[in-house]
Structure 1
Amino acid sequence: MKPMITIRPARAGDADVLPDIEQSAGLAFRAIPELAWLADGDNVSAERQRALIAEGACWVAADDQDRPVGFLSAGLEGFALHIWELDVRLDRQGSGIGSALLERAIKDARRRGLAVLTLTTFRDVAWNAPFYRKFGFRILEGAEVDERLSGLLSSEAEHGMPLDRRCAMKLDLG
């Protein structure tokens, strides 16, 4: 029997465990030699997570004892909901938790009347762009990448992300 998972809005008290979930999820990058360094990279701080939670666009996947095992942190950026982070503990990956979190974010964005969801991710990592494509996201190319997303990609490159492997994606909700 699969353990019960509940998707619920994140609470301020959840912020302290989210960096650990991000760290666990990041261990999956060890399977990609040229990106293995990401497994030891910095995580989003609990303080930043608390700020995102306060904006009301963050959700956790909680186990039957209400302990978070995955989360999606997003922020409102004009008429877009921007996904900053989507992580599931390594030992819980592949069980549909990430999909359930993403579906909740899409549903919430529609409820808010937002036009799009956006994110930046790796083009060629199975649990990145190919995963989001299953939900209707598309990779933005050239002039489609607006100033906000272009700035995010540039900032990621400054922090060591290989720009040629990164992309911005968008899901139109209209």
Structure 2
Amino acid sequence: MITIRPARVEDAEALPQIEQSAGLAFRAIAELAWLADGDNVSVERHRALITAGACWVAADEKDRPVGFLSAGIEDDALHIWELDVRLDRQGQGIGRALLERAVADARRRGVAAVTLTTFRAVPWNAPFYRKFGFRILEDAEIDGRLASLLGDEAEHGMTLDQRCAMRLDLSRAGTR
């Protein structure tokens, strides 16, 4: 049984290993396989995001994290920084449950949208988020904050033609 709960500071130690495990899925995509060996978000950054109060973990029956969603309030949006589920727990609806919790929290906070940057064509990236009503932002729709994030990602080897910014407008999105 999986429980979705707010992340606690002590969970931060486990989150880089979950991110590393989730990243192994990229080995199945030749041009992105290098991501499986990439850097993970630091424990310190996880602690800061958890303290800010917009992070959730999926915990197993022994309350051990097996997945997480880290986000933060940026302007008038809840911005998803990272959503990862351990490789051996993927395909069980855990990512969906984490995303649903984050969207519900964003609605509760009264923000206008949920945003993120991700890969356009990776099945568990943009196509996954589209199922929830997220849309890919094009050109003029990309605000300065998201454009800056995409630029930073490009500097780290993720080309702009592969990446996209996405947005779920909460005023128009139906509940799930």
Same fold at TM > 0.5:
yes
Which aligned pairs between 1:148-167 and structure 2 lie closer than 5 A? 148-167=145-164
**1:85 lines up with 2:82 in the alignment:** yes
- Structure 1 residue runs without a partner (length 5+): none
**1:46 lines up with 2:43 in the alignment:** yes
TM-score (norm 1): 0.98
CA displacement at 1:38 relative to structure 2: 0.1
- Structure 2 residue runs without a partner (length 5+): 172-176
Q: CA RMSD in A?
A: 0.3
Select which of 26, 31, 44 maps to 2:28. 31
Runs of at least 4 residues off by over 6 Å: none
Which aligned pairs between 1:53-68 and structure 2 lie closer than 5 A? 53-68=50-65
Structure 1 match to 2:174: none
Task: Measure the CA separation in 1 of the matches of 2:13 and 2:160.
Answer: 30
SS at match of 2:161: helix
Q: Over residues 97-121 of structure 1, what are the superposed CA-to-partner deviations in whole Å (9 max), with x where a residue is unaligned?
A: 0000000000000000010000000
Structure 2 match to 1:16: 13
CA displacement at 1:166 relative to structure 2: 0.1
Task: Measure the CA separation in 2 of the matches of 1:78 and 1:156.
Answer: 20
CA displacement at 1:78 relative to structure 2: 1.5
* Percentage of matched positions with identical amino acids: 80
Task: Measure the CA separation in 1 of the matches of 2:44 and 2:145.
Answer: 23
State the aligned residue count: 171
Q: Which amino acid aligns with 1:13?
A: E
